[in-house]
Structure 1
Amino acid sequence: MLHSVSVGETLAAIPLVRALRHRYPPLPITVTTMTPTGSERVRWAFGNDVHHVYLPYDLPGAMSRFLDRVNPKLVIIMETELWPNLIKALHRRGIPLVVANARLSAHSAASYKRFSGFVSDIMRRITLIAAQNEEDDARFLELGLTKNQLEITGSLKFDISVTPELAMQACALRRQWAECRPVWIASSTHEGEETLLLQAHRQLLTRFPDLLLILVPRHPERFRVAREMTMKARFNYIMRSSGEVPSRSTQVVVGDTMGELMLLYGIADLAFVGGSLVARGGHNPLEAAAHAIPVLMGPHTLNFRNICSKLHEAGGLITVTDVPSLVRSVSALLSNEHYRLYYGRHAVHVLYQNQGALERLLNLLEPYLPKRSL
């Protein structure tokens, strides 16, 4: 059983689940989530190849009944969802629990320390934590984990790739949508960002009249809001779900479909990754980096601090702070191909340099899984 609470954790889990299915074909896999968007991503990625259910609230009776029904032989929790009653129930039943791709911010660690006795008791019941980096490793040790419960594997988020099939689809869609015009994408946007991005796009159109913006809100409930904002701002737009092909006069495509973000990145010349111009902590820039295109983000990148630091240090990430700086950066990238290629090349290089977490994690999981047939 693998638990990924929502979209971000589910995206990180996809390569792991695919690798487990490849290595252990007869192994039944149950994926649990807590949100409808996470559930949609599971269904999009695996269809009926895995069993999906929602994990119940962390109440003793509910967890006991759930485990009776699912009867897992191994439980993997993505990132750091520490559910006390689930952890206690698994320990009581002798079911191994592995926390994969684990991270622990300084803020979260400080919060946990206020309940050090309780947290230490929970920690000792976890079989293994596969931490993303040395900082996370040290914080888990401070909370009571022992060295033999901890391994540093790196971040699974680096273990993504553009498959040949996806590259072909993106190439075909680019020819169909915008063969001879520039395209930029603003992805995973939140309340307060779409307005700023549309203002920037209006200014950019004065210099690049053929420019196409693909605007993809983070959550499905914002699809309608983004459409209304785009319409109110008097842009010529279409919805991705309509199946229409953008005409030469189309200025904005509102991405209102699930599971297509990697494809849409593939037709863009550059990407702004949202949740970062507003204080939401930012979203994953590596999906854009995988396409070797420049990545822009606002200053709020707490959720991906280490990844963004690596990208920034390597010249693979441009930080913008407001509409004027966003317009300046996008203009510079669109008007200078060498500058654009430079940032795209450095972004994808960071991705390649830091891959390998998946293989390390699979090796750690091997003792808890059935023997592979040769």
Structure 2
Amino acid sequence: MAFPLGLGLYLLFTARRAHSAPGEEPPRPERPPGPLIWLHAAPEQPGGHGALAELVRRLRALRPGLTVLISAKGDSHWPEGSRVVPPPPETLPDIHAFVSHWRPDLAVLSGASLPPALIHETDRCGVPIYLVDAVPPPPGRRPRFPGVVRALLSRLAAILARDAEAGRGLRRLGAAPARLDIAGKMQEEPAVLPYVEAEREALAGLARSRPVWLAAGLPEVEEAAVIAAHHAALRLAHRLLLIVVPEDPERGPALAARVEAEQGWTVALRSADEEPGEECQAYVADTEGELGLWYRLASISYMGGSLQGAGSTRSPYEPAALGSAIIHGPRPGDHAGAYERLVEARATRELRVPGDLGEALSDLIAPDRAALIAHNAWEASTAGAEVTERVAALLLAALDERAPAEEES
């Protein structure tokens, strides 16, 4: 296929770069039979690959047995059973060899990812390419050769923009309106965690309509901030109950002892089968796999690790799906995309320093304020799930349309 001078110069430039020497790349596994969708995860994807991981889940749920091939670097958390392979180097021979081996029926890119050699060679091999959750590449990540972005956009079968602003930006860069649709922003991660209803009823009965807040995935470095925040909030709501889920469950007994020694509070320990009775001020839930239960009991959830830790240890979509208002700090960890969406929707209370936690908690004890944030978070998270479902359905429809043509040929 002929291509503009700018794209030709870019491809010539990249072709001169060194790529994997013959024999160094491990042999590729055999291509599985049946339809195959190739999903390329750009290593620089902002906010990680949570949206793509959820798209994989929806594709496989809607079409059991479908092979979704993921080319990705790093240790992103892909759905169980995913077929993940190293991405091909950005050179025409490497990409041609990759596409010739795997023979994908469709290729999927996401976000601002427009790898020139990959798009050109995949299109030349006759594989339709879809750009989902699409946004314009920032100026610093666009090829410097003239006309390259316009040429790449023209080779895409469809562009599903994240929002109207992204759609306008892509049209300015040369995306054809006939191939561009405003699909919405996909959901980054699955949301609803399981729980045991009998346990919820029993604990709700023990709480007896007390206000409850949760510190989820709390690292040791943030324990002092949570204790101080609870101490401050107790002045306004003396029946307030704190539930703490330590990041490390083995930290539970030591944390309970610390709180009792420093504050003189009555503390119950989940691993010791103790119950949060009327006199209990703090409940250390040092067991695993029960966060769905604690989110359902707590009207407010602080996301541990987001203030002083290495980053939020849990996804904010977990409390968002269960009606708990979210408090968090400036460190999103692996969940940057999810926090970005919720902050834009005014669906969280964001903190800057640990001392802000007590003030935010005291403010959200008012049921109407917590309910507004929780409602906004639920709407933002469920809207993303609907978008992901629509994108998956569109890709499967394109796959079905392609199958008869391949059989005839």
- With the shorter chain as reference, the TM-score category is 0.5 to 0.7
Q: Which residue of 2 aligns with 1:219?
A: none
Report the CA distance between 1:29 and its aligned residue. 2.5
One-letter code aligned to 1:24: R
The question of 1:2 aligning with 2:27 is answered: no
Residue segments in structure 2 that go unaligned for 5+ positions in a row: 1-37, 261-269, 404-409
Tell me, in whole angstroms, the C-alpha distance in 1 between the residues paired with 2:74 and 2:291.
18
- 1:21 alignment partner, one of 42, 46, 60: 60
Deviations 1:109-163 (A, max 9, x none): 222457262333333322222111011112222333222232110112189663x
Matched, 1:101 2:133: yes
When residues 21 and 174 of structure 1 are mapped into structure 2, their CA distance, relative to the original with a 3 A threshold, is same
Question: For residue 79 of structure 1, what is the amino acid of its counterpart?
Answer: G
Name the TM-score, length of structure 1 as normaliser: 0.68
Q: SS at 1:38's partner residue? A: coil
Q: 1:244 to 1:99 in 2, by over 3 A?
A: farther
Cα shift at 1:294: 0.7
- Distance (whole Å) between structure 2 residues aligned to residue 5 and residue 198 of structure 1: 36
Work out whether 1:11 is the aligned partner of 2:19.
no
> Cα offset for 1:74?
0.5
TM-score where L is the length of structure 2? 0.63
Percentage identity across aligned positions?
Answer: 22
Distance in 2 between the 1:67 and 1:306 partners?
34
Residue number in structure 1 paired with 2:95? 63
1:307 matched residue in structure 2: 341
Quote how far apart the aligned CAs of 1:265 are. 4.5
Partner residue, 2:363:
332
- What is residue 109 of structure 2 aligned with on the other side? 77
Q: Which moved more, 1:4-13 or 1:125-134?
A: 4-13
Q: Out of 133, 149, 169, which is 1:119 matched to?
A: 149
Deviations along 1:21-61, one digit per CA (max 9) or x if unpaired, are 3443453322343222324xx21xxxx4xx41133253334
1:122 counterpart SS class: helix
Work out whether residues 72 and 85 of structure 2, in 8 Å CA contact, stay in contact via their aligned partners in 1: yes
Shift of 1:369: 0.8
CA–CA separation in structure 2 for the residues paired with 1:274 and 1:320: 12
* Aligned-residue RMSD, C-alpha: 4.5
Q: Does 1:201 align with 2:222?
A: no
1:317 aligns with 2:348: yes
| Greater share of helix | 1
Task: Confirm or deny that 1:38 pairs with 2:72.
Answer: no
Distance in 2 (CA, whole Å) between partners of 1:305 and 1:287 is 12
SS for the counterpart of 1:36 is coil
Which residue of structure 2 aligns with residue 293 of structure 1?
324
Matched, 1:89 2:121: yes
Return the alpha-carbon distance in structure 2 between the equivalents of residues 256 and 116 of structure 1: 53
Match of 1:29, SS? strand
* Residue matched to 1:220: none
Query: Which whole-Å deviations, capped at 9, do the CAs of 1:307-352 have from their partners, x for residues lacking one?
Result: 345521xxx3323222222211123334x44443343234324445
Separation in 1, partners of 2:164, 2:357: 34
- Report the equivalent of 2:169: 139
Task: Identify unmatched segments of 5+ residues in structure 1.
Answer: 217-222, 237-242
Paired amino acid for 1:327: G
How many residue pairs were aligned?
A: 332
CA separation in 1, counterparts of 2:74 and 2:151?
A: 28
SS class of match (1:31)? strand
CA contact (8 A) 2:226 2:357 kept: no
Q: Is the 8 A contact 2:53 2:189 kept in 1?
A: no
The residue identity in structure 2 corresponding to 1:11 is G
Change in 2 beyond 3 A, CA 1:303/1:20: closer
